Amino acid sequence: MGADNRLSPFYLAFFAVVAACIYVRRRRLGAVERGFWGWLLPQTVYRHASTLTDVKLFLANVFFRATGLLSIGLLAGLGYWVTRTLLHAGFGEGGSVIPAVGMGLLFLTIAQAIATDLGIYLGHRLVHRIRVLWPFHAVHHSAEVLTPITAYRIHPLDTMFSNGLSGIFIGTVGALLTYFVFAGASIIDIGGLNLFYFGFYLFYANFRHSYIWVSFPRWLEHILISPAQHQLHHSVHPDHWDKNYGSILAIWDWMFGTLVTSGPAKPIRLGISDEQGKLLPQQYASLTSALLLPFA
Provide CB contacts within 8 A for 181, sequence distance 6+. Answer: 96, 97, 98, 111
The Cα–Cα gap between 68 and 66 comes to 5
Which pLDDT value is given to residue 214? Answer: 96
Question: Long-range contacts for 242-247 (Cβ within 8 Å, ≥24 apart)?
Answer: 242/125, 242/128, 242/129, 245/121, 245/124, 245/125, 245/128, 246/117, 246/120, 246/121, 246/124, 247/116, 247/117, 247/120, 247/121, 247/124, 247/200
Closest to 260 measured CA to CA, from 272, 274, 246: 246
pLDDT at residue 193, as a whole number: 85
257: left (phi over 0), alpha (psi -120 to 50) or beta: left
| Segments making up each domain of the chain, as ranges | 9-210
Give the pLDDT score at 291.
94
pLDDT value, residue 84: 73
Q: What is the pLDDT along the chain (296 residues), one digit of tens a residue?
A: 677 889 999 999 999 999 999 999 999 998 888 899 999 999 999 999 999 999 999 999 888 777 665 566 666 777 777 777 877 777 676 666 666 666 777 888 888 889 889 989 998 999 999 999 999 999 999 999 999 999 999 998 898 888 777 778 778 887 787 777 766 667 777 888 889 999 999 999 999 999 999 999 999 999 999 999 999 999 999 999 999 999 999 999 999 999 999 989 888 999 999 888 888 999 999 999 999 999 99
pTM: 0.89
pLDDT for 151 equals 95
Write down the pLDDT at residue 9. 92
Closest by alpha carbon to 150, among 233, 216, 63? Answer: 233
Strand 182-183 to 98-99 pairing: parallel
Asked if 229 contacts 138 with a C-beta cutoff of 8 angstroms, the reply is no
Backbone angles phi, psi at 95, to 5 degrees: -130, 45
Query: If DSSP states are collapsed to H, E and C, what string results for 168-202?
Result: HHHHHHHHHHHHHCEECCCCCEECCEEHHHHHHHH
